[in-house]
Amino acid sequence: MSPGAGFLVCFLLTLALLGCVVATGLRARRALHLTCVGLTVAALGATIYFAYGLGRIYDLEKAGWITPVHHVLARTNTAALLLPVITGILTIRRPATRPLHRRAAYFVIALTVVTAATGGWMLWLAPKFAT
Ligand code: HEM
């Protein structure tokens, strides 16, 4: 699969799985929720793999200031995924933590939307390397 197609498929899969994570969390389907979290992390890993492939096709430096902004957001987003993971484990031990877990989850989802938008913007502006 080409990096472009691989990235698009894995990214859309990650978004769809995030939707399943939220839906199963809201319905307290705990086992399914945790399965969806695992699958989301795997799909995110594949998305990052293909994103590095895209970086070898597009001259991202030429997209300008949006490139470093997107890279900081992408790294922050990946690290921020730990927030719902930590608060989720806390919620299993102490159900009162559930509202905190919900806020952490919605924060990460909002950050994912902003990160995706800046990533799309960056690719839109970046020319392809001459082959
Ligand atoms: C290891 C990771 C995670 C664990 C252990 C976990 C665990 C939980 C638990 C125990 C609940 C309460 C429902 C129940 O009683 O079964 C819950 C709810 C929820 N989870 Fe997670 N979760 C994890 C990751 C995530 C992630 C990554 C997201 C989304 C980014 C997420 C989104 C939600 C949402 C939206 C709810 C409903 C909260 C509410 O409305 O009260 N969770 N999760």
Do the beta carbons of residue 111 and residue 84 sit within 8 Å?
no
Q: Are residues 5 and 40 in the same domain?
A: yes
Q: Which residue has the tokens 């990160």?
A: 115
Q: Which domain holds residue 88?
A: 60-131
Going by the DSSP 8-state scheme, the letter that residue 128 receives in this structure is: B
- Ligand 1 lined by 101 (C-beta under 6 Å): yes
Q: Using H for helix, E for strand and C for coil, what is the string for 59-107?
A: CHHHHCCHHHHHHHHHHHHHHHCHHHHHHHHHHHHCHHHHHHHHHHHHH
Question: In this predicted structure, what is the pLDDT of residue 112?
Answer: 92
Question: In this predicted structure, what is the pLDDT of residue 3?
Answer: 87
Q: Are residues 43 and 73 in the same domain?
A: no
Q: Are residues 130 and 87 in the same domain?
A: yes
Confidence (pTM): 0.88
The residue from 57, 73, 94 where one domain ends is 57
Q: Whose CA is closest to atom 36 on ligand 1?
A: 25
Tell me if residue 58 falls in helix, strand or coil. Answer: strand
Q: Are residues 48 and 73 in the same domain?
A: no
The residue from 40, 57, 74 where one domain ends is 57
The residue from 33, 57, 81 where one domain ends is 57
- Ligand 1 lined by 28 (C-beta under 6 Å): yes
How many folded domains does the chain comprise? 2
Q: Are residues 68 and 41 in the same domain?
A: no
User: Beta-carbon neighbour count of residue 106 at 10 Å?
Assistant: 12
Q: Whose CA is closest to atom 33 on ligand 1?
A: 25
Q: Tell me the pLDDT of the chain (131 aa) as tens digits.
A: 888 899 999 999 999 999 999 999 999 999 999 999 999 999 999 998 999 899 899 999 999 999 999 999 999 999 999 999 999 999 999 999 999 999 999 999 999 999 999 999 999 999 999 86
Going by the DSSP 8-state scheme, the letter that residue 52 receives in this structure is: H
Q: Whose CA is closest to atom 14 on ligand 1?
A: 28
Q: Pick from 44, 101, 112, 115 the residue to mutate for probing ligand 1's pocket: most ligand atoms within 8 Å of its CB.
A: 101
